[in-house]
Copies of this chain bind each other. A is one copy, B any other.
Amino acid sequence: MVEDGGEPGGPAASGGPTAIRDDLAAVRREFHRYPEPAWCEFVTTARVVDYAERIGVDELHYGPDVTDAENRLSVPSEAELERWFRKATDRGARPDVLDRIRGGYTGAVAVLERGEGPTVALRVDTDALHVAESDDPNHRPAAEGFRSENEGMMHACGHDGHATIGLGVLEAVKHGDFSGTFKLLFQPAEEVAGGAKAMATGGHLDDVDHLLAVHLGLDRPTGTVVAGVVKTLAVCRFRVEFSGASAHAAKNPETGNNAIQAAVSAASDLFAVPRHGGGSTRVNVGHIEGGAPAHTNVVAERAAFEAEVRGEDTELMEYMFGECSTVIRTAAERHGCEATITVEGEAPREDSDPETAGAVEAAARAHPEVSETIPSADFGASEDATYLMKAVKENGGNAAYSVVGTDHPGGHHSSTFDVDERSLGIAVDVLSDAVVRLGTNNDA
């Protein structure tokens, strides 16, 4: 663990080609115990950098050159960033790494140069959720002592496993029969759809021929692999601030510009944006707050909400965002308020390419522990990995987003979510095999 003072320790410390592969559960549990929110993955980033150095890579990027700072979405306040930074320092994370990632420059890119051949990349994500982890003895992390040590935060979507899988694949590719360049991308801020846009424009995707991304679970049992998902929903998450003018609600309500009235009117009307003949759309307001507690006699001068729109494709999502913008603008005008809309997360729709997914399919079919291989399946939700997929495709490459099934007792994002750790090995094997095949394929 990091708090051991930087001493070589933990599963990887034993070295050798199969060090991580043999101890995937331990690595994952280490990540699980220390969940961090988007752009605050300080301990997590320091730890993956540490592992990557031990595995030995040709390039290792972390800090401001991993992401395009301007495109980072949903970055927390300076105070919140510092709070997590200090926690990381207190926990004893490597100061040299911490210095470079301070201020929300989390994430890392590790590169293996393995001779002639295509550039193949694997993206894993690293952030956790604001969920309080169950302490029920039936919840294995509670029973076996690796429950979250950051109360109120939890790896409830398997990113602890994803980071672990990434390290396992890095190790396997390093020691395996791969010709080409391999890049491992540790992406921050996936849960808020805030990290991929910045990584997509950060430069590391420009030369990628094949991009792989992976997710555990998603209601698929251990032993199942979906080679390439399609029909992700494009998504845009945004925050709206209404500012008006306060007034005494009894003496002269007419002099106020009621920010709560503007906000509730807009929030109501967002749900009434017309359906689109071109395909499915979604809209939701997930958080609202305005005015001040107990101040019922004040016409509120401030209110805000957070909402999201989705579409079966990017254009449909953009239609929804455009309509919502009109709703918000006119509701604000109605009540003499100003409204500002800030995009907090975004992801286009991208489908897996058959070529790249084919390598995962072949690898899965060849794996003895994979009982069901599904070439393609609808995703039905959103993932900002699509930003990376889109960037690769625009540069002439291909991409696939794969699902490695895992038996999970609680649903994703629930307080009893957990993964079947057998799936970690399957994922490492299948993905590293796919990387090799993609290298080999292009050479052929």
Question: Would A294 and B288 count as touching, CB distance under 8 A?
Answer: no
Chain A positions near chain B (C-beta within 8 angstroms): 74, 130, 192, 233, 235, 237, 248-256, 258, 260-261, 263-265, 267-269, 271-300, 303, 306-308, 310, 319, 326-327, 330-331, 333-334, 336, 344, 380-382
Point out the residues of chain B lying under 8 angstroms from A327, CB to CB: 334
Question: Would A288 and B275 count as touching, CB distance under 8 A?
Answer: no
Q: CA of A207 to CA of B30 in the docked complex: distance in angstroms?
A: 69
Point out the residues of chain B lying under 8 angstroms from A251, CB to CB: 277, 380-381
* Identical chains in the assembly: 4
Q: CA of A292 to CA of B299 in the docked complex: distance in angstroms?
A: 24
Q: How far is the CB of A336 from chain B (nearest CB, A)?
A: 8
Query: Known contacts being A264-B264, A268-B261, A326-B333, is A274 close to B254, with CB within 8 Å?
Result: yes
Point out the residues of chain B lying under 8 angstroms from A298, CB to CB: 284, 286
Q: How far is the CB of A151 from chain B (nearest CB, A)?
A: 16
Point out the residues of chain B lying under 8 angstroms from A299, CB to CB: 274, 284, 286
Question: Would B265 and A277 count as touching, CB distance under 8 A?
Answer: no
Point out the residues of chain B lying under 8 angstroms from A235, CB to CB: 250
Identify which of B261, B283, B286 contacts A292 (C-beta below 8 A): B286
Point out the residues of chain B lying under 8 angstroms from A192, CB to CB: 294
Q: CA of A273 to CA of B237 in the docked complex: distance in angstroms?
A: 21
Question: Would A285 and B268 count as touching, CB distance under 8 A?
Answer: no
Q: How far is the CB of A343 from chain B (nearest CB, A)?
A: 12
Question: Would A319 and B265 count as touching, CB distance under 8 A?
Answer: no
Point out the residues of chain B lying under 8 angstroms from A272, CB to CB: 261, 268-269, 271-272
Most buried by B among A264, A281, A380: A264
Q: How far is the CB of A111 from chain B (nearest CB, A)?
A: 32
Question: Would A330 and B334 count as touching, CB distance under 8 A?
Answer: yes
Point out the residues of chain B lying under 8 angstroms from A330, CB to CB: 330-331, 333-334
Point out the residues of chain B lying under 8 angstroms from A308, CB to CB: 249, 296-297
For the complex of A and B, list the 8 residue pairs with the smallest distance between their C-beta atoms, beginning with the closest: A249-B284, A296-B308, A271-B272, A286-B296, A252-B277, A264-B264, A287-B291, A289-B289
Q: How far is the CB of A326 from chain B (nearest CB, A)?
A: 6
Nearest to A286 among chain B residues (CB) is: B296
Question: Would A285 and B261 count as touching, CB distance under 8 A?
Answer: yes
- 29 residue pairs from A and B, CB less than 8 Å apart: A130-B293, A249-B286, A250-B381, A251-B277, A253-B274, A253-B277, A254-B274, A254-B277, A256-B274, A260-B288, A261-B272, A263-B288, A264-B288, A265-B269, A274-B299, A275-B281, A275-B282, A280-B280, A284-B298, A286-B292, A286-B298, A287-B292, A287-B294, A287-B295, A288-B288, A288-B303, A296-B344, A297-B308, A330-B330
Question: Would A284 and B307 count as touching, CB distance under 8 A?
Answer: no
Point out the residues of chain B lying under 8 angstroms from A289, CB to CB: 288-290
Identify which of B275, B281, B294 contacts A306 (C-beta below 8 A): B294
Q: A293-B306, A330-B330 are in contact. List 13 more A-B contacts (CB 8 A).
A: A235-B250, A249-B308, A250-B284, A250-B310, A250-B382, A253-B284, A260-B287, A269-B272, A272-B272, A286-B297, A288-B290, A296-B306, A326-B333
Point out the residues of chain B lying under 8 angstroms from A256, CB to CB: 274
Q: CA of A299 to CA of B287 in the docked complex: distance in angstroms?
A: 9
Point out the residues of chain B lying under 8 angstroms from A283, CB to CB: 275
Point out the residues of chain B lying under 8 angstroms from A333, CB to CB: 326, 330, 333
Question: Would B334 and A326 count as touching, CB distance under 8 A?
Answer: yes
Q: CA of A284 to CA of B261 in the docked complex: distance in angstroms?
A: 9
Point out the residues of chain B lying under 8 angstroms from A264, CB to CB: 263-265, 267-268, 285, 288
Question: Would B300 and A254 count as touching, CB distance under 8 A?
Answer: no
Nearest to A303 among chain B residues (CB) is: B288
Q: CA of A306 to CA of B249 in the docked complex: distance in angstroms?
A: 13
Point out the residues of chain B lying under 8 angstroms from A293, CB to CB: 130, 287, 306
